[in-house]
Amino acid sequence: MKYNFQKANAIFFIFLCLIYLSAFLNIDQTLSTFVSKFSTLLILVTLLSLAFIIYDAIIKIKLKKKQTFDFSEENKSLTLKVKSLSHEEKTILSLYLNDKIQEKALHPNDHAVAWLESIKFIVHTGKIDGHKKIFRIDPTLVKYLQKNPNALY
């Protein structure tokens, strides 16, 4: 089991709470006396531990919101790029989705294929099938188009 500061702090906080509980229930007279004698110090240590836990939670929430915001910004840019495609380019992308495949052999001299490759919607895999090259569709584009199938029409 891998330990880090957050786990150690959480375990320490639980330990302090159990000490307070056992002192409150008077399970052990010595422990109750110790807690009442050093209550100020124990409360400060508990509050410090709780502050670290809250700080970690806030950082995690901020990071998750930032990732969501970054994804939505990327999604907006992807939406604009897909809307600006010509009918022929959208048809090529729909071939990937209709066949539910990641790779497809396309004619490299086609202008639509060249444009899709230049905007990184499809990537040449290095494989050749006769006179055609095999291209792979971008995985983020596939996810976007699966969530928004009407974007191509």
- Write the pLDDT tens digit of every residue in 100-121: 888 888 888 888 888 888 888 8
130 Ramachandran zone, left/alpha/beta (phi>0; psi -120 to 50):
left
Which residues form the domain of 105?
A: 85-152
Q: Are residues 73 and 106 in the same domain?
A: no
Q: Are residues 71 and 94 in the same domain?
A: no
Question: How does the average pLDDT of the chain come out, rounded?
Answer: 87
Where would I find the H helices in 25-138? Answer: 29-37, 39-83, 87-99, 111-118
- Taking alpha carbons only, the member of 111, 119, 123 closest to residue 77 is 119
- Taking alpha carbons only, the member of 73, 126, 78, 76 closest to residue 103 is 126
pLDDT at 42: 93
Which residue, of 26, 55, 77, is where some domain finishes?
Answer: 77
If you ran DSSP here, which 8-state letter would residue 66 be given? H
For residues 60 and 126, the answer to whether their CB atoms sit within 8 Å is no
Q: Are residues 107 and 71 in the same domain?
A: no
Percent of the chain, pLDDT > 90? 35
Q: Binning pLDDT at 50, 70 and 90, where does residue 3 land?
A: low
- When divided into structural domains, the chain yields a total of 2
Which residue, of 51, 77, 103, is where some domain finishes?
Answer: 77
Q: Are residues 43 and 65 in the same domain?
A: yes
- Write the pLDDT tens digit of every residue in 67-87: 776 666 777 778 888 888 888
What average pLDDT does range 13-22 have in this prediction? 94
Does residue 1 carry a pLDDT above 60? no
